[in-house]
Amino acid sequence: MRFSQDFINRVAESNNLVDIIAEYTQLRGRGDRFMGLCPFPDHHEKTPSFSVSHSKQVYYCFGCRRSGNIFQFLEAMKGLNFIEAVEYLADRAGIPIERDVKDKTASPKKKYYDLNKEVADFFHLQLILSPEDSTVRKYCRKRGLLKKTVKDFMLGYADESWDSLTSFLKKEKQSVKDASSLGLIKKRASGGYYDTFRNRLMFPIISLQGRVVGFGGRALDIEDVKYINSSESEIFNKSEVLYGLHKTAKYIKSEDEVLLVEGYMDVLSLYQAGVKNVVAPLGTAFTSEHARSLKKLTRNVFVLFDGDEAGQMAAERALPILLQEGLLPRGVVLPENMDPDEYVKLKGVESLKEVVRAAPELFSLVVQRLKSKYSNSPSSKIVFMEKVSDLLLSVADKGLFDLYVDEISELLSVPSDWVLSNLKGSTLKKESRKSLDLEEGNKKLSLRQESNMKGEEDIIEVENPPRAELYLLNLLLMEEGFWNRFFASALLNDISHEGIRKIIQLAQESRQTTSDFDKLTSLLVEKVSPSRYITLFMAPPFSEMSREELERMYVDCSRQIRSRALKAQIQKLKADMALASPEEQVKKLEQIMNIQRERQHLEQEKSKMI
């Protein structure tokens, strides 16, 4: 069951696309049209090519060619599906969702997100309300956590008792079964439940979409396991989420660099010291999924793991994963085995920035460390080559690969060709990697299709439309005056492209139920693929044309379309003539001459204009 169209319309009308987009990028507007830098994280630009129409409630970026209405923006930007986007906007506008509708249509994951959010609020309040001299407050002070950081990252406190959270959930009539699925509480052998997190500083783990997907807990008692996470669940996959990203993504993007650190505390202390382009994996290994989500924001990754042996090993393991995804990793090594948190406190943030700026390639660090274990004998070089082969073969960037080969050849004092010919099983490996990538791609595609809750069947696919018809379509949607003129003429019959004709017909149907002309575009934009074909009018050349120029464009397009249609008619008549009787042939010839006269007339009009 879906939401009724009435409900969807009401939700759309109660929100303003301009306000929503302004949360992601600065928009400057005059009149109806607002421009700004493209808010999509994978489109970096210095001059604005992103525009939003206030009256039509659609957006279009002529740089990355994304376009859509308010729902499509949330789907693309926050990764919501259609139902979730409707719910989000209803919430935002304070429109209640009827209970029975909600239960049937809400995504099954939403109840988990809501529950996690409630639990995060509970832990947060526990921390805020705890006495000044409590262990948790003392710990926060010792680590130098500022009030603002605690609030920004919603840090919390799970107290020492075995059932604080369990009782809270029962009191709030929350499902203990769901809480148990999320790993927040655990079943007792004797029946009932107990709290998973006790006497811990709590770190809610928040996805890029701003949802609480899980928790990390830091022990306050030295006897306990230092860090534990809530278990993986339907909404929590540790190998996908990066800690801090919901707050730091915009800084990573704007600075075009990211600092990859090891722990929650490193993220927090760097963030509050003013180094805000920072993230950490969740105390687990760094994965390809992590690399891919960073790649959407920047290619420049500074790996800043702890100086101890474990930290360096972790950095080494992250290297091939970063290289495989085409990222450009550098390695930051802090002196005296310090971790970033300690370093910033001791030496200050400027000193850290200097170390980061001077950081060498992570590849060089790893390779040199490895080389130090081998002598310069020919047989050692062979063994060493075997060790670095995999690493070299993981480099996805061709230019980088060549440079690294040179580096190895220098390090071993051998020619580059020798390095290349001693890459073990090179061709084989590269091939197998390629097919793996392909599989991954297909998997993603099918996932996307599943999550698309809007019927695919009513999407109009448009391929290679003739320019005149495409431009005319955009003029029709741009101004009601053009629309009225078009339908007063018989030009619709002359539209040759099936996709364009279908769009115009659908627009005509929608127009019968929509009194507001401006709503047409946002209604159509989700039914056309690629959607940009009906938002071209928001960008140059349209947006820079005067009234007269637009008028001329309309006339030119109409004439071209008519002329092409006449030409097609002539061709058809000529083909028919071959099979016709002599009398019919005469009739057809007459028709052809009439049509040719009209075409000539059109041509004359055109030459007058020029």
C-alpha to C-alpha distance for 336 and 334, rounded to whole angstroms: 7
Q: Which is nearer to Zn ion, 29 or 63 (CB)?
A: 63
Record the tokens describing residue 223, joined without a space.
């006897």
Cβ 253 to Zn ion shortest distance, Å: 12
C-alpha to C-alpha distance for 522 and 55, rounded to whole angstroms: 10
Contact between 298 and 257 (Cβ < 8 Å) = yes
Give the three-class secondary structure for 193: strand
Q: Which is nearer to Zn ion, 49 or 394 (CB)?
A: 49
Q: Which is nearer to Zn ion, 61 or 249 (CB)?
A: 61
With b meaning 16 or more CB within 10 Å and e meaning fewer, what string describes 451-472?
A: eeebeeeeebebeebbebbbbb
With b meaning 16 or more CB within 10 Å and e meaning fewer, what string describes 362-389?
A: bbebbbeeebeeeeeeeeebeebbeebb
C-alpha to C-alpha distance for 45 and 438, rounded to whole angstroms: 29
Record the tokens describing residue 534, joined without a space.
């009906």
| Cβ neighbours of 540 (radius 10 Å) | 11
| Cβ neighbours of 274 (radius 10 Å) | 11
Q: Which of residues 54-113 bind Zn ion (CB under 5 A)?
A: 61, 63-64
Binding mask 365-384 for Zn ion (x = CB under 5 A): --------------------
C-alpha to C-alpha distance for 211 and 405, rounded to whole angstroms: 43
Cα angle 89, 91, 97 (rounded to 5 degrees) comes to: 100
C-alpha to C-alpha distance for 336 and 549, rounded to whole angstroms: 69
Cβ 22 to Zn ion shortest distance, Å: 16
Cβ 134 to Zn ion shortest distance, Å: 49
Binding mask 241-280 for Zn ion (x = CB under 5 A): ----------------------------------------
What's at 452, amino acid-wise? N
Q: Which is nearer to Zn ion, 39 or 329 (CB)?
A: 39
C-alpha to C-alpha distance for 514 and 508, rounded to whole angstroms: 10
Burial of 27 (C-beta count, 10 Å sphere; 0-12/13-18/19+):
buried
Nearest to 128 by CA among 143, 159, 150: 150
Strands 258-261 and 300-304: parallel
Q: Which is nearer to Zn ion, 38 or 235 (CB)?
A: 38
C-alpha to C-alpha distance for 135 and 526, rounded to whole angstroms: 54
Q: Which is nearer to Zn ion, 27 or 279 (CB)?
A: 27
Cβ 538 to Zn ion shortest distance, Å: 13
Cβ 36 to Zn ion shortest distance, Å: 10
DSSP codes of every residue in 514-578: ---TTHHHHHHTTSEESGGGGTGGGSTTGGG--HHHHHHHHHHHHHHHHHHHHHHHHHHHHHHHT
Cβ 35 to Zn ion shortest distance, Å: 12
DSSP character at residue 39: -
Binding mask 546-575 for Zn ion (x = CB under 5 A): ------------------------------
Cβ 64 to Zn ion shortest distance, Å: 3
Cβ 296 to Zn ion shortest distance, Å: 13
Cα angle 151, 289, 331 (rounded to 5 degrees) comes to: 80
Q: Which is nearer to Zn ion, 252 or 323 (CB)?
A: 252
C-alpha to C-alpha distance for 107 and 360, rounded to whole angstroms: 46
Cβ 66 to Zn ion shortest distance, Å: 6
Cβ 70 to Zn ion shortest distance, Å: 17
Q: Which is nearer to Zn ion, 47 or 446 (CB)?
A: 47
Binding mask 11-50 for Zn ion (x = CB under 5 A): ---------------------------x----x-------
Q: Which residue is nearest to Zn ion (CB)?
A: 38
Q: Which is nearer to Zn ion, 41 or 311 (CB)?
A: 41
Q: Which is nearer to Zn ion, 61 or 462 (CB)?
A: 61
Cβ 44 to Zn ion shortest distance, Å: 9
Residues binding Zn ion: number (CB under 5 A): 5
Binding mask 145-184 for Zn ion (x = CB under 5 A): ----------------------------------------
Q: Which is nearer to Zn ion, 63 or 326 (CB)?
A: 63
Q: Which is nearer to Zn ion, 64 or 411 (CB)?
A: 64
C-alpha to C-alpha distance for 332 and 340, rounded to whole angstroms: 10
Cβ 49 to Zn ion shortest distance, Å: 6
Q: Which is nearer to Zn ion, 64 or 506 (CB)?
A: 64
Q: Which of residues 465-494 bind Zn ion (CB under 5 A)?
A: none
Cβ 258 to Zn ion shortest distance, Å: 21
In the complex, the residues that contact Zn ion under the rule CB under 5 A are 38, 43, 61, 63-64
